[in-house]
Every structure is written in structure tokens, then in C-alpha cells.
């Protein structure tokens, strides 16, 4: 058979942001976790390369769509917390390579910042669908970096929000973030002195800090609260006190990964929990195999460490959008293997 023409798409952050909405990422995350539940995803262990100023994370996954088409994505992110202050650069930078798993063709090379931010936020919102009270409308955000903005935008897009409270250990960052998102969404946004003050006001909380010691304690959280714990994506990071984990119904994105690097890891190390105390993984909720919230008074924590299957699902969605544009080389060649049949 004659070799088919092929164009690899190069997608920068601005183009990805233009192509995708929060709802698009939410749909991609639902498909990712359903694929995981149905055995259509392959997730090797992530790789970490440490340096004095930060490190690199490499995550890869394979995903087979419901129609049998298969794709692989590998993401390499540099995570350097001192970048904004020292170099004027983002904390996280990197790239995703999306390939066709039928023949190995590289379909796209895309900036990973936008995809990582948005797919992480979409997973929190997906978890909220099953684990938050339907009437929860007071949002708390702890850690006011780029992830905080993505989380809040995804939440506002998906559900009614009445008020917002935020905290960052850098008071100026919290105040700047509060002013910016208040103007963007037309919401009352209150910067708070500490995380406990945020928690007292809110029933939907996202922790997306770089903390290495707990920012929320067992006594900070009221009954009925949902917490998406997003910041502990490396073994040394820690946001949720073990006693609070023990008090809550805990749902994870991946038991294996959360045992290695999530807040679950710290709770088990402190002997506050056992691995079998985890209620469910998110894939089990999406597939209907496990119940979500069963009581309005439950405290529910979603331990989110970030899975490579989220990257490949999001990358497929981005590629589909990009390849469908009339000026795309992939469109011109008629070579969009991810397009709906």
C-alpha cells in the first residue's frame, strides 16, 4: 500500500485556548475515566527526574476509543516553583506528543500548560458531579496560581456559584487573584487570612497549592463539604491533614498513584487510614459501579494527582478541533484519524 501523506500539527497554548471550552474538557475527562473503568486505557507509572530547583514529570498513556481507534500521548512537564519570581516564567512548562497507536504516526505536538491546567480542573468538576451537594454554591480556593484560575472557571461554567473565598500564603497574590476573578465573573470574591477562614465560608473547596504541610485540618471543614485536593502531585507535597482524610469519604483518581504521591499517601503513613478505607476511584463513579455522595452531611475528599489518561483524552479532543479547521494541514490531507466516524 502506498504511504499516505501526513502532517504533524504544532499547537501552541494560544491556539489550544481558542479551540477548547471548559465543557469540552469536561466531556473529555468523562470519556477518559469511562475508558479507564472499561479497560480501554493503559497507564504506565510516571517518571520523575529531580533537580535542585525543580524537576520533570513524564506521564504517558494509551487510550482506545469506543469505536476501536487507539491513541497514545506522552507528556513531559518541567515543574519549577521558583520560576515566576526568579525568571518571570511559568511554574509548569512542557509538551504533549499525541500519536496514532495503529501506526505510530505523530499526530500533534502541543503545549502542555493549557491542557494540564484545564484537564485538571475538569476532573475536579467531574468529581463534583458525583460528590458535591447539588445546592453547594460557595466556592473556596486555596492557592491562587494558574491552576486556581482554571479551577474556578471550570466550576463557574458547570454550576451556579454564589460567592467565592480565596487564600494564598502570598497575601498580595490572593488579593490580585480576587480582584481579577471578581471582574471576570461578576462575583463577590473575598481574600482570606488563612485556609481555615476559607473553609468556614464554603461548601465547595479546591486546594491547589504547593504546600508540603497540611493547609486544612480536621476541624476546619463543615459537614456536607466537598474538597478537591489537587496540589499533592508529588510525594513531598501535602495539603490535607491525615485526621481530615480519616474523617471524610475519600475518592481518588487512581489508588496506585495516590498511594505514591497523593494526600492518601500521607494519611496512610500517619496510620490515620488504610488503603482499603478509600471509598472509590473516580472511574468507578463514572461507570456507575460505585455510589457517589449518599448523605448531605458527608465530607467528601477527591484526592487528585493527575493521570496520563486525562492528557491523552484531552489531547485527542484538542487534535480533533485543530484538524477540523479548514486551514489545518491535517484537514487538507483528510488525515484526521480521531474524527468521529
pLDDT tens figures, 281-326: 999 999 999 999 999 999 999 999 999 999 999 999 999 999 988 7
How many CA atoms are closer than 13 Å to the CA of 184, on its beta-carbon side?
Answer: 15
Domains contained in the chain, number: 2
CA distances from 325 to 8, 65, 75, 83, 85 (A): 14, 22, 24, 35, 38
- Is 330 a residue whose pLDDT tops 90? no
Whether residue 132 is found in the same domain as residue 242: yes
Q: What is the pLDDT of residue 331?
A: 56
Closest CA to 206 of 263, 303, 140, 126: 140
Q: Is 85 exposed, middle or buried (0-12, 13-18, 19+ CB in 10 A)?
A: exposed
* Phi, psi angle pair for 21, to nearest 5°: -105, 165
- Is 114 a residue whose pLDDT tops 60? yes
Is 75 a catalytic site residue? yes
Per-residue pLDDT reduced to its tens digit, 183-214: 999 999 999 999 999 999 999 999 999 899 99
Can you give the CATH number for the domain in which 85 is found?
A: 3.30.1780.10
Whether residue 102 is found in the same domain as residue 205: no
Mean pLDDT score across all residues of the chain: 93
Residue 157 lies in a domain: yes
Residue 219 lies in a domain: yes
Q: What angle do CA 320, 328, 22 make, to 5 degrees?
A: 40
Task: Provide the edge-to-edge strand list for the sheet that holds 204-207.
Answer: 189-191, 163-167, 138-142, 204-207, 226-229, 300-303, 249-252, 280-281
Whether residue 177 is found in the same domain as residue 285: yes
- pTM metric for this prediction: 0.92
Whether residue 160 is found in the same domain as residue 252: yes
* CB < 8 Å & 24+ apart, contacts of 47-54: 48/234, 53/80, 53/82, 54/78, 54/79, 54/80, 54/81, 54/82, 54/83
Q: What number is the average pLDDT over the span 90-94?
A: 89
Do strands 138-142 and 106-111 pair parallel, antiparallel, or not at all (unpaired)? unpaired
Q: What angle do CA 28, 30, 31 make, to 5 degrees?
A: 65
Per-residue pLDDT reduced to its tens digit, 4-51: 557 899 999 999 999 999 999 999 999 999 999 999 999 998 888 999
Q: How confident is the model at residue 334 (pLDDT cuts 50, 70, 90)?
A: very low
- Is 336 a residue whose pLDDT tops 80? no
Whether residue 180 is found in the same domain as residue 327: no
Q: What number is the average pLDDT over the span 112-141?
A: 97
Whether residue 186 is found in the same domain as residue 263: yes
Q: What is the pLDDT of residue 168?
A: 97
CA dihedral for 57, 250, 313, 145, sign (positive or negative): negative
Q: What number is the average pLDDT over the span 149-170?
A: 97
Whether residue 80 is found in the same domain as residue 39: yes
Buried b (16+ CB within 10 A) or exposed e, 211-229: beebbbebebbeebbbbbb
Q: Which residues on adjacent β-strands are paired with residue 100?
A: 71
DSSP output for 185-226 = HT--EEE-SSHHHHHHH-SEEEE----SS-SB-GGG--TT-E
Can you give the CATH number for the domain in which 285 is found?
A: 3.40.50.720
Whether residue 261 is found in the same domain as residue 327: no
Three cell numbers, residue 112: 502542555
Whether residue 95 is found in the same domain as residue 143: no
Cα separation, 89 vs 82, whole angstroms: 9
Whether residue 81 is found in the same domain as residue 150: no
Q: How confident is the model at residue 2 (pLDDT cuts 50, 70, 90)?
A: very low
Residue 341 lies in a domain: no
Per-residue pLDDT reduced to its tens digit, 207-261: 999 899 999 999 999 999 999 999 998 899 999 999 999 999 999 999 999 999 9
Q: Which residues contact 317 (CB under 8 A, 6 or more apart)?
A: 20, 24, 25, 27, 28
Residue 339 lies in a domain: no
Residue 289 lies in a domain: yes
Residue 254 lies in a domain: yes
Whether residue 59 is found in the same domain as residue 159: no
Q: What is the pLDDT of residue 48?
A: 87
Whether residue 135 is found in the same domain as residue 238: yes
- Is 126 a residue whose pLDDT tops 60? yes
Q: Is 55 exposed, middle or buried (0-12, 13-18, 19+ CB in 10 A)?
A: middle
Domain that holds residue 72: 9-115+308-333
Whether 110 and 315 have beta carbons less than 8 Å apart is answered as yes
Q: How confident is the model at residue 333 (pLDDT cuts 50, 70, 90)?
A: very low
Amino acid at each position: 500500500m502506498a504511504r499516505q501523506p501526513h502532517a504533524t500539527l504544532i499547537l501552541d497554548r494560544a491556539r489550544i485556548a481558542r479551540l477548547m471550552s471548559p465543557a469540552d474538557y469536561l466531556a473529555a475527562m468523562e470519556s477518559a475515566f469511562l475508558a479507564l473503568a472499561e479497560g480501554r486505557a493503559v497507564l504506565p507509572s510516571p517518571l520523575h527526574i529531580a533537580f535542585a530547583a525543580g524537576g520533570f514529570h513524564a506521564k504517558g498513556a494509551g487510550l482506545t476509543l469506543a469505536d476501536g481507534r487507539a491513541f497514545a500521548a506522552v507528556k513531559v512537564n518541567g515543574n519549577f516553583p521558583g520560576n515566576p519570581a526568579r525568571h518571570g516564567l511559568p511554574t509548569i512548562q512542557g509538551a504533549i506528543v499525541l500519536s496514532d497507536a495503529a501506526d505510530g504516526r505523530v499526530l500533534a505536538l502541543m503545549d502542555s500548560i493549557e491542557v494540564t491546567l484545564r484537564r485538571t480542573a475538569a476532573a475536579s468538576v467531574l468529581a463534583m458531579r458525583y460528590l458535591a451537594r447539588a445546592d453547594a454554591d460557595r466556592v473556596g480556593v486555596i492557592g491562587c496560581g494558574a491552576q486556581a484560575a482554571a479551577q474556578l472557571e471550570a466550576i463557574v461554567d458547570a454550576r451556579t456559584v454564589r460567592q467565592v473565598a480565596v487564600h494564598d500564603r502570598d497575601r498580595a497574590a490572593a488579593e490580585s487573584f480576587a480582584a481579577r476573578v471578581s471582574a471576570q465573573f461578576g462575583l463577590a470574591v473575598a481574600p482570606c487570612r488563612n485556609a481555615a477562614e476559607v473553609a468556614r465560608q464554603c461548601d465547595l473547596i479546591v486546594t491547589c497549592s504547593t504546600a508540603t504541610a497540611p493547609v486544612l485540618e480536621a476541624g476546619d471543614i463543615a459537614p456536607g463539604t466537598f474538597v478537591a485536593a489537587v496540589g499533592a502531585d508529588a510525594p513531598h507535597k501535602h495539603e490535607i491533614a491525615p485526621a481530615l482524610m480519616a474523617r471524610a469519604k475519600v475518592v481518588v483518581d487512581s489508588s496506585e498513584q495516590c498511594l505514591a504521591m497523593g494526600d492518601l499517601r500521607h494519611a496512610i503513613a500517619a496510620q490515620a487510614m488504610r488503603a482499603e478505607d478509600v471509598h472509590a476511584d473516580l472511574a468507578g463513579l463514572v461507570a456507575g459501579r460505585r455510589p457517589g455522595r449518599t448523605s448531605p452531611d458527608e465530607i467528601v475528599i477527591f484526592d487528585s494527582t493527575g493521570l496520563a489518561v486525562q492528557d491523552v483524552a484531552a489531547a485527542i479532543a484538542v487534535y480533533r478541533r485543530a484538524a477540523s479547521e479548514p486551514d489545518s494541514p491535517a484537514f487538507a490531507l483528510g488525515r484526521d484519524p480521531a474524527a468521529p466516524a
